[in-house]
């Protein structure tokens, strides 16, 4: 089995607040493409944490930033972009 991958997910809310989550998964368990699509269709971001289940309505989320970039992404993602301002 390979080394686990660690991701940081910064969730920024429409109201101005934010929360940061760490996610650790095995490399072969990174179905990022299907998870992103499923989350968009469900309308909710749901995560199991050590102390419970966190559900965040997508309508409350301004932006989600995942670092580092997951190895597999949906086909609609523009790669190699950079912020200039």
Only one residue has tokens 């965040």, namely: 56
> Residue 77: which pLDDT band, with cuts at 50, 70 and 90?
confident
- Please report the domains of the chain, with CATH numbers, ordered by start residue: 4-67 (2.30.30)
Q: What is the pLDDT of residues 48-60, one digit of tens each?
A: 998 999 999 999 9
Range 8-18 average pLDDT: 95
Range 7-14 average pLDDT: 93
Q: What is the pLDDT of residues 21-44, one digit of tens each?
A: 998 876 666 556 567 778 878 889
Q: Are the CB atoms for 8 and 21 separated by under 8 Å? A: yes
pTM score: 0.80
Q: Which of 18, 15, 4, 2 is nearest to 64 (CA)?
A: 18
């Amino acid at each position: 089995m390979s080394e686990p991958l660690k991701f940081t997910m910064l969730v920024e809310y429409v109201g101005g607040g934010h929360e940061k989550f760490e996610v650790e998964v095995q490399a072969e368990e990174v179905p990022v493409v299907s998870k992103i699509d499923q989350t968009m269709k469900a309308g909710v971001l749901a995560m199991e944490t050590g102390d419970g289940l966190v559900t965040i309505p997508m309508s409350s989320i301004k932006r989600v930033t995942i670092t580092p970039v997951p190895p597999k992404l949906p086909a609609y993602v523009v790669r190699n972009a950079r912020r200039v301002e």
